[in-house]
Amino acid sequence: MDGVLSLNRKLFKHHWPPFLNKTPFTTHAHFVDKSLLQPLSSLQCGAILQSLTNIKWLTKGQQLHAYIIVSGNIQNNTYLTTKLAAFYANCGHMTDAQVIFDGIVLKNSFLWNFMIRGYACNGLPVKALVLYQQMSCFGQKADKFTYPFVIKACGDFLNVEMGRRIHGEAVHSGFDSDIYVANSLLAMYSKFGDMWTARMVFDRMPVRDITSWNTMISGYVKNGKPKEALTIFYLMKQTGSSSDGMTLVGLLCTCADLAALKQGKEIHGYVIRNRYALCMDFLMNPLIEVYFKCNSMVYVRRLFEKMAWKDTVSWNSMISGYARNNYAFESLSLFCRMIQEGAKPDQVTFISVLVACDQITALQFGMSVHSYLVKNGFGATTVVATALIDMYAKCGNLACARRVFCETPEKNLICWSVMISGYGIHGMGREAVSLFHEMIKNNIIPDEGVLTSVLSACSHTGLVAEGKEIFYTVTKDYDVEPVLAHYSCMVDLLGRAGHLDEAYKLIQTMEINPSSDIWAAFLNACRLHRNVEMAEISAQNFFDMNAKQVGGYICLSNIYAAEKRWDDVERVRTLMREKGLTKPPGCSFVEFDKMVHQFLVGDKSHPQIEDIYAKLRQLNHLLKEVGYKPDTSSVLYNVDEETKENMLWDHSERLAIAFVLINTGPNTIIRITKNLRVCRDCHTVIKLISKITCREIIMRDIRRFHHFRDGFCSCGDYW
């Protein structure tokens, strides 16, 4: 490889005409100063063009193109025009390549292949396939160079039917025994998700090389079959085939999938020991993934800090890894460091950052990311727009979410889905339902994901009839298999609306086995409608499933506490402890002055804590004057009323609200986020605070948003 490259460079230098070293011309003929020209033969031009093609030096090639035009060499010179088309195709400038290609009458197979390759390797598989069909119309036969590119195009375009046909043609013409053709077939079937056929092609290959083995390993990994990937690796070792860096990439992805920390570390050690023989840069990024999937935050950080060479993907892996593992603060601070250190963020970076913003409701941060995107010309692609819509919706700014949604010209299924669930979590079920119908009118075929979004929107608003209708028509008309998430939404919808019997009947008649989530949803409905008898049935089912969600346990203890059955409360608690489950402490976030402030329940660590408690005492006093009576039913301890009442005033959301009230002017909207469900008493208190302080309070709890204004909440006390 190195030899080839240096040879080309030499050739390059030798033939280099002086005018090319002048100012870089960006466009063609009229920029060339004719006095500087020294005559070059078309053979010389062709040789230079060849080297420029190999190293993809676009600007120099364009200058040479200009020279060729000016010097009159281009007329009727198929030799040069073919090379020019190949040059543009190799640089990915397919429009230029196509213009030249169209002007060539005698097209040889070299030219066809280069054009097909150009389209296939530059994200235009459909054009590659069209060209391939034209090629056979022109009577030009496909050869062993043509097949790898058309097969790649079929794989990228996911055109299974055409892929199979071309495979057949290759077999018919005998080119399938060519190792490049066979390897492309392996990659194509992997992309189709058809590992069975890939394996069949692989098993029938007369000879295999490292690429064949590596393609099979990564194919299995991409299709969620890490165990089969390992089998191929062992087979590879047995046959004595050597492996390379790419093999290790495949193995690392396998380790990540299986959360195999030990094996991942072994490979890490191997890479370090062989760092001079391997190209390490590739391997560090998949290693980051392994450590993240194994929840090894310490290893991941140590590895990252030691990496001398970090590219955009390294930063992205870290930022998205932290975000996926709920380390939003680390994710955002790493993003800031990335910008400071001058690394170049891309689309993936922004999507990951916006996900981190969702988690801690960092609206201001998310907005500044949005403006960074606009300023730096990252034209909002649908993916980025979708992440923005989700961020705005989850950070409580539905108006901005709607605006980005409307300004996105090409909305895909996920884009609609995000907006629908955005309406849902803000309690705007009717808007969600009508958007869902609008989506269908726009010929978007619903899938199970968007069905979950719209059903959950119905359940937040109690739209029983609408939810039922959508559930039954979508699963029937669009061939969507109902999954647990849908039943969960339906049980929640029916149960919370008070149709406990119907919800129970649905659980009993559903076609898949109910999960613990479903029993938890039913349990919650029983709590709301204070049906202890039904609650105990669902609790029994919930416990039988050996469930790990704390929510169900807390819900049941709440039910017992409300009935003052303290022995039962204690029994549930013990059960929780035995399972090693703990109730996470209540925690609220608030973004203020470019910082996210975090308050735990009963937190005394904040610098302004004395002022905060003073404010809360004052509020308590004011609230009592307007008739507030504390509802201590959600306190799960059997203690006297006064202690219970004091415990309520320790709740994290109150601390956060008091903090904002102290530090902001009268018209500022208060935005807070809580990690658990808001308790009934806090809900009442916040409604009253919004009234007596004339403040709008927007609160996100674990399930949805509550917009408090003038003593009322947007959820209509239905949550």
Partner DNA sequence: CTAGGGTTAG
Binding site for DNA (CB under 7 A): 109-110, 113-114, 117, 121, 143-145, 148-149, 152, 155, 178-180, 183-184, 187, 209-212, 214-215, 218, 222, 244, 246-247, 249, 253, 281-282, 285-286, 289, 311-314, 316-317, 320, 324, 346-349, 351-352, 355, 358, 382-383, 386-387, 390, 412-415, 417-418, 421, 447-450, 453
- Least spacing, CB of residue 687 vs DNA, in Å: 28
Q: Which is nearer to DNA, 448 or 696 (CB)?
A: 448
Q: Which is nearer to DNA, 92 or 449 (CB)?
A: 449
> Which tokens is 126 given?
């459909």
Asked if 659 and 606 touch (Cβ cutoff 8 Å), the reply is: yes
Phi, psi of 269 (to 5 degrees): -60, -45
State the sign of the Cα–Cα–Cα–Cα dihedral 212, 213, 216, 222: negative
Q: Which is nearer to DNA, 418 or 497 (CB)?
A: 418
- Least spacing, CB of residue 670 vs DNA, in Å: 25
Tell me whether residue 606 is exposed, middle or buried, using C-beta atoms within 10 angstroms of its C-beta: 0 to 12, 13 to 18, 19 or more.
middle
CA distance 90 to 105: 21
- Least spacing, CB of residue 505 vs DNA, in Å: 28
CA distance 173 to 165: 12
* Cα 222-223-227 angle, rounded to 5 deg: 95
* Cα 274-276-278 angle, rounded to 5 deg: 65
- Least spacing, CB of residue 312 vs DNA, in Å: 6
- Least spacing, CB of residue 555 vs DNA, in Å: 23
- Least spacing, CB of residue 629 vs DNA, in Å: 38
Q: Which is nearer to DNA, 26 or 412 (CB)?
A: 412
> Which tokens is 541 given?
């089912």
- Least spacing, CB of residue 563 vs DNA, in Å: 36
| Dihedral class, residue 530 (left if φ above 0, else alpha if ψ from -120 to 50, else beta) | left
- Least spacing, CB of residue 491 vs DNA, in Å: 19
Phi, psi of 705 (to 5 degrees): -100, 150
The closest of 635, 629, 627, 674 to 655, measured between CA atoms, is 674
Q: Which is nearer to DNA, 275 or 617 (CB)?
A: 275
Asked if 291 and 264 touch (Cβ cutoff 8 Å), the reply is: yes
Q: Which is nearer to DNA, 177 or 347 (CB)?
A: 347
> Which tokens is 518 given?
């479903």
Phi, psi of 263 (to 5 degrees): -65, -40
Report long-range pairs for 399-406 (Cβ below 8 Å, ≥24 apart): 400/367, 404/380
Q: Which is nearer to DNA, 55 or 600 (CB)?
A: 55
Q: Which is nearer to DNA, 241 or 364 (CB)?
A: 241
- Least spacing, CB of residue 514 vs DNA, in Å: 22
CA distance 348 to 147: 32
Q: Which is nearer to DNA, 155 or 482 (CB)?
A: 155
The closest of 72, 128, 73 to 97, measured between CA atoms, is 128
Q: Which is nearer to DNA, 393 or 660 (CB)?
A: 393
Token look-up 């039922």 returns 468
- Least spacing, CB of residue 381 vs DNA, in Å: 8
- Least spacing, CB of residue 315 vs DNA, in Å: 8
Alpha carbon of 567 to those of 220, 277, 563, 589, 638: distances in Å?
Answer: 53, 67, 11, 34, 10
CA distance 384 to 624: 48
- Least spacing, CB of residue 243 vs DNA, in Å: 9
The closest of 702, 658, 699 to 676, measured between CA atoms, is 702
CA distance 361 to 332: 12
Q: Which is nearer to DNA, 236 or 660 (CB)?
A: 236
CA distance 595 to 147: 56
- Least spacing, CB of residue 340 vs DNA, in Å: 19
Q: Which is nearer to DNA, 215 or 673 (CB)?
A: 215
- Least spacing, CB of residue 255 vs DNA, in Å: 12
Q: Which is nearer to DNA, 212 or 557 (CB)?
A: 212
Alpha carbon of 351 to those of 253, 347, 385, 524: distances in Å?
Answer: 22, 6, 9, 34
Q: Which is nearer to DNA, 50 or 549 (CB)?
A: 50
Tell me whether residue 393 is exposed, middle or buried, using C-beta atoms within 10 angstroms of its C-beta: 0 to 12, 13 to 18, 19 or more.
buried
